Structure 1
């Protein structure tokens, strides 16, 4: 049965994922920006929850080509996550349109016996098939992908192709646009795991402007929704992904 991974960004999200059926979490902050590296204290809280915790290591928003200074910070953050007891790290680095092989190989060596996931930087490379083969050779355990589309449910044919290419040498985890209503065609592709943020918006008043994306007045933030996590758990556990007519 495919694993259910929930991306969470705060202590409440960790508890929701644990209590409503996630198999593991991807821990980050700033999900609205695609996720950034979480603090050591947040990693500690996630590991203490008992859920397998895979820590996203991404030093800034934007693209995935990093300067030498950013590369050093990324490697240091991997070490921090490992020292905190993370069960895996989630990384992605590109150079000249392809994988930054030196950095990925360095992270794989640092990670030793914990999992390494290559995140959706995979979706912006020109040749996903060749990139999958390269990542498998580098010892990466899995890729997180939407099949190159904005939403994974719109790329099921590509996901199935990647699963076939992987042939068990590297796991394929589908992510983006997945909820209980869209997961069955994703599961039918044969992916090893599904990844979702299962989030909803809550509105709160903000008295003063705190930044370009946090202006005074009504302010919305994303939280992990218990109902969505539970519904995804039920959908993954059911046989509804077999589709109509089963």
Structure 2
């Protein structure tokens, strides 16, 4: 039977435990998911190292594009060292040159330094030439590519995802992410051939009365906070398991 993997991205330690205890195969550990995910703190990595599933730490020093200065690259290398030190199973990272190509000169030694499994994050979705980007990721030794099919939501770019899977040809895992839920997971898996899904499994939580001051001051969004949902993880896990049992 095919075994489709579920990775859940989180930015709190509570969310990490909820995901791990309700069906996630792997955790992508971040700070600031509202910014697309940034490098978690050393304390966060240390706490997450106790989880019962593999944890991959995001290595992304700031929001925005993926062209990094020398100073930022130095920070990223130090953060990779911390990921190793605090027992992470892998890292999630990426960088581009000023010409918009994979920054091989930085990424090759960075990945060698870590010695950990690695995922190329959605910087992949910025590249114009899919084949060149996939071959570059393979040559660098990335274990997988996280992609939405080069659009905002994976569900809207099934043909592109299918083409990425075809080009990869089993040489590197393709993981579909962005907007993945139990409601569209079967469609994505059936149409594309991906065998890894990435989701936040989050819901927006209303703010309790004691947090009204934080909301007024702008620390909490007016529509509440997004939190990892045990029910969402369970539903997505069940959908994946049903798909695997039936077969593609």
- In the superposition, the TM-score normalised over structure 1's length comes to 0.92
Partner of 1:74: 76
The alignment status of 1:226 with 2:230, answered yes or no, reads: yes
Partner of 2:37: 35
Q: Measured at CA, do residues 241 and 124 of structure 1 come closer, stay the same or move farther in structure 2, by a change above 3 Å?
A: farther
Root-mean-square deviation (CA, aligned residues, Å) is 2.0
More helix, by proportion = 2
Picking from 34, 58, 73, the partner of 1:56 is 58
- How far is 1:190 from its partner? 1.5
**For 1:73-222, what aligned pairs fall within 5 Å after superposition?**
73-95=75-97, 96-112=99-115, 114-188=116-190, 189-204=192-207, 205-207=211-213, 214=219, 218=222, 220-222=224-226
Superimposed CA distance per residue, residues 20-57 of structure 1 (whole angstroms, 9 cap, x where no aligned partner): 10001000011011001101111112110121000001
- CA–CA distance in structure 2, aligned partners of residues 210 and 59 of structure 1: 28
- How far is 1:173 from its partner? 0.5
- CA–CA distance in structure 1, aligned partners of residues 182 and 94 of structure 2: 27
How many corresponding residue pairs?
241
- How far is 1:206 from its partner? 3.9
More strand, by proportion = 1
- How far is 1:16 from its partner? 0.6
- How far is 1:129 from its partner? 2.1
- SS across alignment from 2:57: strand
- Contact kept, 8 Å, 2:95 with 2:103, in 1: the verdict is yes
- Contact kept, 8 Å, 1:183 with 1:241, in 2: the verdict is no
- How far is 1:111 from its partner? 2.0
Gap regions ≥5 residues in structure 2? none
